[in-house]
Amino acid sequence: MIEEKLTTADFLKTDIDDTLRPQSFADFIGQNKVKGNIKVFVEAANIRKSTLDHTLLYGPPGLGKTTLAKIISNELGKIIKITSAPAIEKQGDLMAILTTLDEGDILFIDEIHRLKKVLEEILYSAMEDFKVDIVIGEGTGARTLRLAVPHFTLIGATTRVGSITGPLRSRFGIIERLDFYDTESIKRILERSSGILKVNINPEGITEVAKRSRGTPRIANRLLKRISDFCLVEKKNLIDKEFADYALLQLEVDEKGLDAMDRKILKIIIDHYEGGPVGVSAIAAAVSEEAETIEDVYEPFLIQQGFLKRGPRGRMASSAAYEHMGYPCKKEESLFQ
Ligand SMILES: Nc1ncnc2c1ncn2[C@@H]1O[C@H](COP(=O)(O)OP(=O)(O)OP(=O)(O)O)[C@@H](O)[C@H]1O
Ligand SMILES: [Mg+2]
């Protein structure tokens, strides 16, 4: 039997259902700056009776990009058509999507940094001029056909804004970055979720789960569900701090919210590379994970928590990482020497 352990990357892949997804700005907790801005732009579009400018939402996985896109469509009273860049393979696929849009529709393209170059060029003119040129035939018989596209709003989402080309980025009128949530916001999200899921958890229990949710609503919700599974099976009727502690230990989530993979990454940098610097591909090979997953899922949180530093020569474990992992103190050295 092959035993597979679920990692944070698995946790972050999908949401099992939409029951916990906020449907309106009022339900969307935290991210006040981003929410406030988008609310204004949506309201202005509603007053003007015009379409919302193309919008790019970026940030680590599970922070609410898809949720915000759906809320925007709800608040504009528009239809949202959802796709993701890897699903659009050919020119024909993109044309089919663009030409079936109705006036005012929202087109949501997830993982937009993965859109192929040739398709990006089609998208440029669709976004800017609401026209697309398609080439029919080949060689001397080739003709260009210009088709009109209805006025639509493109909402792009990505975890890696750095991989988006300049020309594409410049065609978004609204660009907003989602960052990790503070513990207070995660607490409120957990309160809301436990109400919806009818999970009996007290404030101390909520605080404990919130502190260990990596500032990420999706992880907070998952942990709540898994802890409530333990609670059910072990016939407890309340999740308090002690029970949350116990269940999180079973789930291998430590007191800082680091999971087995986070700790493996730090351990490898410390044990095998004397704390670094080491390239991400070497780390990825050592922990049998894709480099892209390390960069998108694990690194942002480890960096935000001050356990990892990124420099021109690679990744380094900080002295906080040494301490957290139970190693003797590290002699700090500059990344830029
Ligand atoms: N501000 C919020 N308030 C309450 N719940 C939230 C909030 N943001 C996200 N969530 C919850 O977290 C889940 C994950 O959010 P979402 O799917 O929007 O993340 P994402 O940024 O699109 O992630 P990915 O990059 O993986 O696509 C949602 O299903 C929702 O239940
Ligand atoms: Mg998403």
Q: Which residues does 256 contact at the CB level (< 8 Å), separation at least 6?
A: 212, 305, 324
Is residue 183 among the annotated active site residues?
A: no
Is residue 160 among the annotated active site residues?
A: no
pLDDT for 337 equals: 45
- Report DSSP letters for 151-201, one per residue: --EEEEEES-GGGS-HHHHTT-SEEEE--PPPHHHHHHHHHHHHHHHT--B
Does ligand 1 lie within 6 Å of residue 156's CB atom? no
Nearest CA to ligand 1 atom 7: 64
In this structure, the strands spanning 131-136 and 143-148 are antiparallel
User: How much distance in Å is there from the Cα of 65 to the middle of ligand 1?
Assistant: 6
Does ligand 1 lie within 6 Å of residue 12's CB atom? yes
Domains of the chain are 31-118+150-177 (3.40.50.300), 183-250 (1.10.8.60), 260-324 (1.10.10.10)
pLDDT for 15 equals: 52
Is residue 218 among the annotated active site residues?
A: yes
pLDDT for 270 equals: 96
pLDDT for 9 equals: 58
Q: Which ligand is nearest to the CA of 180?
A: 1
pLDDT for 16 equals: 52
**Cβ atoms of 62 and 217 closer than 8 Å:** yes
Helix (H) or strand (E) holding 315: strand 314-317
Nearest to 10 by CA among 284, 247, 222, 319: 222
The 174-177 sheet, strands edge to edge: 80-84, 106-110, 153-158, 55-58, 174-177
- Cα 268 vs. chain centroid, distance in angstroms? 25
User: How much distance in Å is there from the Cα of 235 to the middle of ligand 1?
Assistant: 30
pLDDT for 106 equals: 97
Nearest CA to ligand 1 atom 25: 61
Give the active site residue among 7, 67, 110, 222: 110
Half-sphere exposure of 249 (CA within 13 A, CB side): 6
Nearest CA to ligand 1 atom 29: 21
Q: Per-residue confidence of the chain (337 residues) as pLDDT tens digits? A: 545 555 555 545 555 568 899 999 999 999 999 999 999 999 999 999 999 999 999 999 999 999 999 999 999 999 999 999 999 999 889 999 998 899 999 999 999 999 999 999 999 999 999 999 888 888 888 888 888 999 999 999 999 999 999 999 999 999 999 999 999 999 999 999 999 999 999 999 999 999 999 999 999 999 999 999 999 999 999 999 999 999 999 999 999 999 999 999 999 999 999 998 999 999 999 999 999 999 999 999 999 999 999 988 999 999 999 999 999 987 655 454 4
